């Protein structure tokens, strides 16, 4: 699967995508990530400054990302993904809330290319969504500085649903009995004069009881 990320800050993704599971998935060619900076699609004026934002019509604080450079960036991505099954996603606080079921649906419907449009400032000119018919997605009931973090969230969540990315099917938390309360060695942790023990049921070897305990937790 290919992820096409439209962002004015592609360098924000460097460390996250080079490490751990995602880094290995890229190395193994399970996924690939391509970046498109809207600034690259603006003709540079004499001062070489490439503005991607402007004042909002109707007044109000902040600036709004301009439609033209974003549309050109997406067009470039669509040109690379030509003939494939593509999903275009635009991050918005008013969008559909992202859940694991959405990531599963992406894989089940066999999309080959996902275009992620990361906004900044006060948002993106609404005509971008209307022209591209992009699906608006939110990762939660809060406001972030930009769409780069949401893009990372989707890349991570969707990638782990791709066969072979995690190595074992059982690694998917949603496909096994899992609990947020987990323990590892030592069996007894001594800290400031107190002993903190692992629950006995986890040491019993009785998988039925262990799963029952996990469900309760």
Can you give the three-state secondary structure of the chain, one letter per residue? CEEEEECCCHHHHHHHHHCHHHHHHHHCCCCEEEEECHHHHCCCCCCCCCCCEECCCCCCCCCEECHHHHHHHHHHHHHHCCCCCEEEEEEEEEEEECCHHHHHHHHHCCCCEEEEECCCCCCECCHHHHHHCCEEEECCCCCCCCCHHHHHHHHHHHHCCCCCCCCCHHHCHHHCCCCCCCCCCCCEEEECCEEEECCHHHHCCCHHHHHHHHHHC
In the prediction, which pLDDT does 201 show? 95
Is residue 142 marked as binding? yes
**Is 59 annotated as contributing to ligand binding?**
no
Residues 125, 86 within the same domain: yes
Q: Which domain holds residue 212?
A: 177-216
Same domain membership, residue 204 and residue 103: no
Q: Same structural domain for residues 118 and 209? A: no
Q: Confirm whether residue 60 is marked as ligand binding.
A: no
Low-confidence ranges of the chain (pLDDT < 70): 45-48, 168-177
Q: Mark whether 165 and 185 lie in a shared domain.
A: no
122 in the same domain as 89: yes
Question: Do 70 and 111 belong to one domain?
Answer: yes
Same domain for 182 and 123, yes or no, is no
Residue 57 marked as a ligand binder: no
- What is residue 183's predicted lDDT score, i.e. its pLDDT? 94
pLDDT at 46 (0 to 100): 59
Residue 156 known to bind ligand: no
Predicted pLDDT of residue 43:
81
Q: pTM for this one?
A: 0.88
| Domains in the chain, number | 2
Q: What is the pLDDT of residue 161?
A: 93
**pLDDT number for residue 50:** 78
Residue 119 marked in a binding site? yes
140 annotated binding-site participant: yes
197 and 164 within one domain: no
Digit-coded pLDDT (tens) for 125-139: 999 999 999 999 999
């Amino acid at each position: 699967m290919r992820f096409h990320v439209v962002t004015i800050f592609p360098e924000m993704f460097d460390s996250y995508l080079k490490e751990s599971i995602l880094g290995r998935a890229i190395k193994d060619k399970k996924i690939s990530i391509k970046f498109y900076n809207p600034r690259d699609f603006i003709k540079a004026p004499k001062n070489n400054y490439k503005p991607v934002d402007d004042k909002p019509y109707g007044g109000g604080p902040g600036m709004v990302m301009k439609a033209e450079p974003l549309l050109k960036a997406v067009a470039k991505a669509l040109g690379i993904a030509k003939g494939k099954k593509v999903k275009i996603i635009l991050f918005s606080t008013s969008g559909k809330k992202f859940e694991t079921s959405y990531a599963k649906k992406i894989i089940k419907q066999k999309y080959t290319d996902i275009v992620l449009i990361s906004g900044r400032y006060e948002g993106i000119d609404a005509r971008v969504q209307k022209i591209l018919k992009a699906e608006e997605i939110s990762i939660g009931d809060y406001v972030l500085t930009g769409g780069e973090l949401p893009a990372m969230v989707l890349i991570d969540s969707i990638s782990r649903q791709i066969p072979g990315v995690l190595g074992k099917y059982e690694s998917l938390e949603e496909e096994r009995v899992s609990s947020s309360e987990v323990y590892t060695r030592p069996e007894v942790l001594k800290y400031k004069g107190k002993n903190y023990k692992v629950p006995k049921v986890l040491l019993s070897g009785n998988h039925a009881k262990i799963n029952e305990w996990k469900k309760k937790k």
